[in-house]
Each structure stands twice: as C-alpha cells, then as structure tokens.
C-alpha cells in the first residue's frame, strides 16, 4: 500500500522505517530536506495514486491545522487524512467536518510507543467512520505490535485522541507513583540498594510494568539520578484529561495530583510555600528560612526569629 507521511521526526521517521520493512511504499515530507522524500505537500500528493491516504505526524495545534487545511486543498474526494499526532480530540471534530465538505475522509489516531515503536510496534487508538478506517487498515496492521492487541477502532471521530489522552493521564499517575516510591526508598537509611529493590519488582509483583523496566534502565545509567534536574514538562494531554474529567464530573484525584506535581517541579522557590511558611511562623512561631537574596543572618538555611507572641498551633 502507498502512504503519504507528513512529519518525519522521532516518531514519524521510525514509523516510516517500520512500514517500509513491512513492504509498504511510504512517501515522506518534512520541513527538514535531509530526511524528506519530496519537497512539498503538493509533490507528495501528486506522487500517490488515488485513493490516497496521507498520515500527519506534526505538532498539535497550529502546525496540524495548517497541514490539514493545505491537504484539504490538494486532495481529492475519496482520499483520507489521518491525524496521528497528539491533537486535542475536539479539534478532530472540526477537521473532520471541514474535510467532509470536500468528500475527504478523516481518521484520528492516538499513537503510543515512543522511540521503541519502530521495533516493538505502536499501540493505535483510532476514531472515525468504518469505511475510512478500512482504507487505512493495512497501515494500522503493519504499525501495531504482533498479536491480537495493539489496535482499536475506539469510536467516532475524536475517540482515538480521547482514548490516547486518557492513556497519557494514566501514564502521568503511574510515573508519579513510581517516582514517589523511589524518593522514599532513597530517603530511608535502612534501604541500601534502591536500584536493586526496583529490579526485584520486575518479576512476580503486581506493580511490574514497562515503566518499571524503564526506571531500572535509567538507574543502570545513573544509579541515583544525580545527573538529572528535578524538572518535568507536560505534553498538554494531562491537562486535557483533567479538563475532560471536570466536564464529565468524573473524579480523577491521582491523575490531577500527578499533573500538579509536574507544575511544582518547575518552581525553584515555590511562591505557595512562601505563604505556608509565613503562616506557620505567624500562628505557631515555627522557624522560617530566609530567601537566598538576603545576606548575613538571613542567609539560606538561617532561621528567622519568630514573633515574640505567636500563638501555638
């Protein structure tokens, strides 16, 4: 089968290689000419035989919107566009409606597998009409892992990215749980080999997982993770998951807390903790630590004298 693939970064480039290994013809376009097979979207479309399938793997938001808008002008009735990026599911509905006016199909596909997907396969969560899904099915079959699992037609347009959004929210919470357990083990003097504790969990325990395997791999590279800064970005899907939970009145305390923990990781000097420290000092006379900009007696680590008549609390 022929496929046009737009976006040849870490994910897109590996997907192209996996598909070619499976015998499919992939014509790739990227703004980086060193990795592209063609020089423009127009050339990509002209290279493919009808009915065409073009898979988009570019950043969510404006880049995806611009790419789909341009493809809408280039493609023909009966062609299909697949958005395999991390788009918000509500955007899928707008894209599908715009393309439907030109009789061009649209499929949204949440893709999970990261840099390991080229060899292990990708988990694919798709939304759209059954007829459009069927046109892309040979590509899905080549990208998914071997065996019965790894692909789902999750529902109508938007369902694929909604499912991937929830997947990533769960991922946030799982990573946070492993991270909290790791920190506690590192803090306890009684445990002398945290890495091997994690390794012992890889077989026979109910918390074994690929994430656990990756945690052990990371500690094999840097046993106490001393070379890393305690800072974690969020891709946006964690936020969307929490927002969707609010819209549907579904409680997500673990996922929400894990998202907020990432926000906290970006604060070298938490403004909230300034107020907490000030209040503890005011009501209970608890010692506070001065800001690093102060000198002398107020240097970092120095205790500031509490109010003389502070109330205990």
Which pLDDT value is given to residue 76?
Answer: 97
- DSSP letter, residue 311: P
Are the beta carbons of 111 and 100 closer than 8 angstroms?
Answer: no
Which pLDDT value is given to residue 311?
Answer: 40
Backbone angles phi, psi at 4, to 5 degrees: -95, 130
| 122-154 exposure pattern, b = at least 16 Cβ within 10 A, e = fewer | bbbbbbbbeebbebbebbbebbbbeeeebbbbb
Can you list the alpha helix ranges (DSSP code H) found in the chain?
A: 10-21, 41-47, 62-74, 89-100, 117-120, 130-143, 159-187, 194-200, 210-221, 237-248, 253-264, 271-284
Which pLDDT value is given to residue 309?
Answer: 43
Among 197, 191, 199, CA closest to 217: 199
What are the 10-residue block averages of pLDDT along the chain, 313 residues in total?
96 96 97 95 97 96 96 98 95 97 97 91 97 98 96 98 94 92 94 97 95 93 89 83 92 91 81 72 74 47 43 43
Structural domains of the chain, ranges and CATH numbers in brackets: 2-157 (3.40.50.720), 164-264 (1.10.1040.10), 271-304 (no CATH)
CA distance 284 to 177: 32
**Which of the following is catalytic: 102, 164, 274, 308?**
164
The two tokens of residue 191 are 């445990």
Q: Peptide bond before 51: cis, by omega within 30 degrees of 0?
A: yes
Which pLDDT value is given to residue 293?
Answer: 46
Which pLDDT value is given to residue 287?
Answer: 77
Q: Decide if 164 is catalytic.
A: yes
């Amino acid at each position: 089968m022929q496929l046009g693939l737009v976006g040849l970064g870490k994910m897109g480039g590996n997907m192209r290689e996996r598909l070619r290994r499976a015998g499919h013809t992939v014509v790739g376009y990227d703004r980086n000419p060193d990795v592209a097979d063609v020089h423009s979207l127009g050339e990509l479309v002209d290279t493919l035989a009808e009915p065409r399938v073009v898979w988009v793997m570019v950043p969510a938001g404006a880049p995806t919107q611009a790419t789909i808008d341009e493809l809408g002008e280039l493609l023909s009735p009966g062609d299909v566009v697949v958005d395999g990026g991390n788009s918000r599911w509500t955007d899928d509905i707008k894209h599908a409606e715009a393309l439907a006016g030109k009789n061009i199909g649209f499929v949204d596909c949440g893709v999970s597998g990261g840099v390991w997907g080229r060899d292990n396969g990708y988990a694919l969560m798709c939304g759209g009409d059954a007829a459009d899904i069927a046109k892309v099915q040979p590509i899905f079959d080549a990208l998914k892992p071997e065996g019965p699992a790894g692909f789902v037609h999750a529902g109508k347009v938007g369902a694929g990215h909604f499912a991937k959004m929830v997947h990533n929210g769960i991922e946030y919470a799982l990573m946070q749980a492993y991270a909290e357990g790791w920190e506690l083990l590192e803090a306890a003097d009684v445990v002398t080999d945290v890495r091997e504790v994690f390794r012992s969990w890889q077989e026979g325990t109910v918390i074994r997982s690929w994430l656990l395997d990756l945690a052990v791999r990371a500690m094999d590279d840097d046993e106490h993770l001393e070379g890393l800064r305690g800072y974690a970005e969020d891709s946006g899907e964690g936020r969307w998951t929490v927002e969707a939970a609010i819209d549907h009145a579904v409680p997500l305390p673990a996922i929400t807390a894990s998202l907020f923990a990432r926000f906290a990781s970006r604060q070298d000097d938490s403004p909230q903790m300034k107020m907490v420290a000030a209040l503890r000092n005011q009501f209970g006379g608890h010692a506070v630590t001065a800001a690093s900009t102060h000198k002398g007696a107020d240097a970092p680590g120095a205790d500031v004298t509490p109010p003389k008549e502070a109330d205990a609390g």
